[in-house]
Amino acid sequence: MEQTKNLRATDFDRLSWLNIFSWLTASELKVLSASLEKLNYQRGEVIFDESVRPNEARVLIAGIARITCLNADNQRVTIALIAPGPIPELPPPVMSRFDFRCEAYNDCRLGTLDWKAFDRITLNGRETAFGKFHQNDLKHWYRLLRRTSGLLSDLHERVALTMLDLCDDFGIQDSRGTLLSVSISHRDIASIVGATRPRITEHLGQMERDHLLFRQGRQFIVNSAKLSGSLAAHASMRTGPVWSERGTTRRRVTAASSRSRSVQWPKGSNGRNEFRSGLS
């Protein structure tokens, strides 16, 4: 029934389902839907790359997009899968050695609109939309920083964080846990995590035996609470606790969390160490 509903949905319907546009009235949303310049992209097609920096908002109306780049071994890897909603801007030209791209993960429908056009849709619309869109950017580039920081050297942590990120972006609450509404292959998870597909298949099998997740056909159902607990316990065992003093309160933090505040963008000073993307 849900699949039939989605097939019959109009662009206006799909936009109305996105929380980022909940601040628009129905009439304003209709204007937005009519104003977007819409294009369709087939699976694997490049939607845009880092050389294109137009002054416009990009909205994924239907389908899944992904951000990819080249790693230190000149292999193209997936940084993020993008659910319907705003597509984040790619990193600035200083990061161009990674050849960032936005590609269609499956068949996609994209809408674009010049930022100035938001002024014609609603009062102060451009400012509101600009802030909301770039909050979305921050979420995805925080994940990029996390994966390139060198802190996540452990495969279990990388897989667990990836599955939790997918739950945030594509999860539907289910009586059994969080159902990922899209089919994600082991190969795609391997590309995001930075490991071989056989290792990911083996590790996901162990996570299933540990009741952290299980498969339903081609979809995953994740026990998010249990997986989060496993991630925290695993990180604590790997790094060991450190104690920090703040005022009169003595608090326990992990070594990884104490280092995370100093994470910087990777610098191009050392070939293979420029961008590891969490490679084991």
Helices 155-170 and 186-193 cross at an angle (nearest 10°) of 120
Residue 105 pLDDT exceeds 90? yes
pLDDT tens figures, 47-78: 998 887 667 888 999 999 998 888 777 878 88
Residue 170 pLDDT exceeds 80? yes
Q: Has domain 2-148 been given CATH number 3.40.1410.10?
A: no
Q: Which of 160, 175, 190 has the alpha carbon at shortest distance from 221?
A: 175
Domains of the chain, residue spans: 2-148, 155-269
Q: Are strands 108-114 and 76-82 parallel, antiparallel or unpaired?
A: unpaired
pLDDT tens figures, 205-261: 999 999 999 998 888 999 999 998 888 887 777 655 544 343 444 344 444 443 333
Same fold, 2-148 and 155-269: no
Residue 126 pLDDT exceeds 70? no
pLDDT of residue 11: 93
The single residue listed with the structure tokens 């995805």 is: 140
Q: Which of 172, 186, 179 has the alpha carbon at shortest distance from 216?
A: 179
Range picked from 26-30, 109-113, 114-118, 144-148 for highest mean pLDDT? 109-113
Q: Has domain 155-269 been given CATH number 2.60.120.560?
A: no
Instruction: Measure the CA–CA gap between 71 and 57, rounded to whole angstroms.
Output: 28
